[in-house]
Structure 1
Amino acid sequence: MTTEKCDITPNTIVGDLLRDYPELEDKLIEIAPVFNKLKNPVLRKTVAKVATLKQAAQIAGMPVAVLINKLREAVNMEQIQIEQDSEGKTIKPGWVDKGKIVIEYDASLDIENGLHPAAKVTKEITNLKEGEIYLLITPFLPAPLIKIVEEKGYKTYSEKLNENTWNTYIGKQ
């Protein structure tokens, strides 16, 4: 019985990629040494299960197209086109407008104190109206929380401002 392996796209979950293509773990680390953290069993069981390759590219500070196509090349898949701006970053969606932010939550201090922002964020986003944006500020890309809100039907966009600051914009679909 052969099982079909996942396609390698920006939306592929890192854990699914490594399950279907275990040989890509070393390639991932070679492309971006920051992925060496995936050898940590705790991170492997948590972040790798929800983080997409698009988010992984953001964490590594590299264009998502470069990451995807190097991984595809390593397993003899055709290269794919990924919409990016001239610097290789994923294009900020048109709905992301700082003037439409109605709630801003800097979760950095809560996270530092061991509090997970998921309950607060998922409660507060329920009050968003069409076109309004919730801005979540965190010291790292909050991949598990992004997955939670997207599963609840919200759209998200994250950008890395510096080594310790990520802005994640959340809006109604």
Structure 2
Amino acid sequence: MQIAATTRISTLIKENPAAIDAIASISSHFEKLRNPFLRKVLASRVTIADAARIGGCRVEQFYEKLVPLGFTVGSATAPAFAKPKPVATAPEPVELPENGLVELDVRVDIAAGNDPFRKIMKAVEELEEEHTLVLINTFEPTPLLTILQKRGFNYHVVEKEEKLVYTYFWHKTALAAAPETSAPLNTSFDIIQTSFADNIRQVDVRHLEMPQPMVTILSELATLPAGTALHVKHRRVPQYLLPQLQERGFLIAIKEVSPSETDLLIYR
């Protein structure tokens, strides 16, 4: 398999599970890949370049560990290994208010194998404009940084010690409306669905475990013909998928059918 800085860690592991040990040997930051839950949460959303930035290492160190496992480096990236470009850039926290810090410690959730995403987003939604959310975690929450930056937040990450990371989130001005990929009203879903008539591809991911729903959806979109929409049957609104769709130029309409069933209509 040919790899590059943009290759996702989950793709490497799926191709060859030995990649877990190889990557973990690069830095103690990557030991969390041995935890099945953290692997599900992070590996599908983090590229080699992202991981290199988090671990404070070089992309070529990943190549050196992965090539002996049968991976090959793309010719476009083989001649030189530049320092990876950060996924998102955050300013120093000069705008942080001196008072009004709201702490949210999710280390217990992570240790118990529970995804704290909903708890974090609830805290974000309830955050007053003059307050700052302090997320206490065991690692840098890379996917969350991108999501909240697009929702109008600045952030600053401080590694207090190994496996103790404080991430500060505060409003740039006021809490922005949901990103462009956010769901239109249910009535809009029906109108958009009608407009595509028979040009709709169906996929049901309700029976899949994380991260397979997002992997399946992105795979379907990669071969989606022009003028066709993808109708997805899902168990919930896939929050981590929304910024991925925005980056790829897709729009999404969402219709919550029941507490355990959500319809998604994804289109260009």
Q: Same fold (TM over 0.5)?
A: yes
TM class, shorter-length: 0.5 to 0.7
Establish whether residue 95 from structure 1 lines up as the match of residue 104 from structure 2.
no
Which of the numbers 62, 65, 70 marks the counterpart of 1:71? Answer: 62
Taking structure 1 as the reference length, what is the TM-score of the superposition?
Answer: 0.57
Which of the numbers 2, 5, 11 marks the counterpart of 1:8? Answer: 5
CA deviations 1:32-64 (Å, max 9, x no partner) are 3664553554444333223454664576xx423
Aligned residues of 1:28 and 1:35 also touching (Cα < 8 A): yes
Aligned residues of 1:13 and 1:51 also touching (Cα < 8 A): yes
Code of the aligned partner of 1:48: A
Task: Tell me the SS of whatever aligns to 1:38.
Answer: helix
Establish whether residue 30 from structure 1 lines up as the match of residue 25 from structure 2.
yes
Aligned residues of 1:14 and 1:53 also touching (Cα < 8 A): yes
Task: Tell me the SS of whatever aligns to 1:46.
Answer: helix
Look at both structures and tell me which one has the larger radius of gyration over its CA atoms: 2
CA-atom RMSD, angstroms? 4.3
Query: How big is the shift at 1:162?
Result: 0.4
- Looking at structure 2, the residues matched to 161 and 53 of structure 1 have their Cα atoms a distance apart, in angstroms, of 24
Query: How big is the shift at 1:166?
Result: 0.2
Task: Tell me the SS of whatever aligns to 2:43.
Answer: helix
Taking structure 2 as the reference length, what is the TM-score of the superposition?
Answer: 0.41
CA deviations 1:5-46 (Å, max 9, x no partner) are 55315xx53213434576644532332366455355444433
Structure 1 unmatched runs, 5+: 85-89
What fraction of aligned residue pairs are identical, expressed as a percent? 19
Query: How big is the shift at 1:70?
Result: 1.5
- Looking at structure 2, the residues matched to 136 and 150 of structure 1 have their Cα atoms a distance apart, in angstroms, of 15
Q: How many pairs are equivalent?
A: 154
1:87 matched to which residue of 2? none
Judged with a 3 Å threshold, the aligned counterparts in structure 2 of structure 1 residues 169 and 52 are, in CA distance, closer, same or farther, namely: farther
- Looking at structure 1, the residues matched to 118 and 132 of structure 2 have their Cα atoms a distance apart, in angstroms, of 18
- Looking at structure 1, the residues matched to 90 and 41 of structure 2 have their Cα atoms a distance apart, in angstroms, of 31
Judged with a 3 Å threshold, the aligned counterparts in structure 2 of structure 1 residues 150 and 69 are, in CA distance, closer, same or farther, namely: same
Task: Tell me the SS of whatever aligns to 2:24.
Answer: helix
Task: Tell me the SS of whatever aligns to 1:15.
Answer: helix
Which structure features the higher share of helix residues? 1
CA deviations 1:67-113 (Å, max 9, x no partner) are x12123543442332279xxxxx7x9562316514543141576489
2:136 matched to which residue of 1? 137
Which structure features the higher share of strand residues? 2
Code of the aligned partner of 1:125: V
- Looking at structure 1, the residues matched to 128 and 56 of structure 2 have their Cα atoms a distance apart, in angstroms, of 31
- Looking at structure 2, the residues matched to 53 and 162 of structure 1 have their Cα atoms a distance apart, in angstroms, of 23
